[in-house]
């Protein structure tokens, strides 16, 4: 009887621990990174099927991860329209940067997530430019043009393409690695 009671208590403890919503992390900077380049919903709870949207964050938007459970990250960020700091849940797969390396390790485009690294735009011609694209293909929409010497932050890297973020504009997209140094 005593073994059964101990086993019951142990089961209750294990169940309680698995129900904890999140595992703590030190605050870590990450960036919204939707595969289609569209906005990502930040939610008041870890549910997608109810009306719990707190804000809609554009691709490249900076957030601080407070904690995560692998599937969801609890984040702090500045509300896009109200300008106040809010805390909400974002699906971890839509975050990139050094913080997401612990969460997923690979972007939806198959790129390895790296610690944010400053890179310099280096077009093939000194007077030329490099396109920032919505996705990692030459057929993708051009979001902006960058010129010789402009600096960006690289957050993920593949064999041909890199995911980059422009801290001065908040814009995020993809550039060919051959034009970054």
Task: Walk me through the domains of the chain, giving residue ranges and CATH numbers.
Answer: 22-101 (2.30.30.40), 112-179 (2.30.30.40)
Q: Is the pLDDT of residue 65 over 70?
A: yes
Beta carbons within 8 Å of 57's beta carbon, 6+ residues apart:
32, 39, 40, 41, 42, 63, 77, 80, 90
Would you state the pLDDT for residue 4? 64
Please give the residue that has the higher pLDDT: either 124 or 108.
124
80-118 confidence digits (pLDDT tens) = 778 899 999 999 888 887 433 333 444 545 677 777 789
What band does 37 get if pLDDT is binned at 50, 70 and 90?
low
Ranges 16-20, 77-81, 95-99, 174-178, most confident:
174-178
Range name among 95-104, 123-132, 135-144, 163-172 with the lowest pLDDT average: 95-104
Please give the residue that has the higher pLDDT: either 3 or 163.
163
> How many whole angstroms separate alpha carbon 147 and alpha carbon 163?
17
Say what percent of the chain tops pLDDT 90.
Answer: 34
Q: Model-level pTM?
A: 0.47
Closest CA relative to residue 21, chosen from 47, 57, 48, 52: 47
């Amino acid at each position: 009887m005593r073994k059964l009671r101990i086993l019951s208590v142990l089961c209750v403890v294990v169940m309680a621990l698995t129900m904890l919503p999140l595992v703590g992390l030190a605050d870590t900077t990450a960036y919204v990174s939707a595969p289609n380049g569209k906005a990502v919903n930040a939610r008041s709870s870890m549910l997608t099927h109810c009306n719990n949207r707190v804000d809609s964050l554009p691709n490249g938007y900076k957030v601080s991860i407070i904690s995560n459970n692998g599937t969801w990250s609890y984040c702090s960020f500045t509300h896009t329209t109200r300008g106040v700091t809010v805390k909400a849940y974002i699906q971890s797969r839509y975050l990139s940067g050094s913080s997401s390396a612990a969460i997923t390790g690979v972007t939806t485009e198959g790129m390895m997530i790296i610690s944010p690294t400053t890179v310099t735009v280096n077009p093939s011609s000194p007077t030329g430019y490099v396109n920032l694209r919505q996705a990692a293909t030459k057929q993708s929409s051009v979001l902006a043009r960058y010129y010789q010497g402009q600096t960006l932050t690289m957050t993920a890297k593949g064999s041909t393409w890199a995911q980059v973020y422009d801290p001065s504009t908040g814009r995020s997209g993809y550039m060919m690695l051959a034009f970054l140094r």
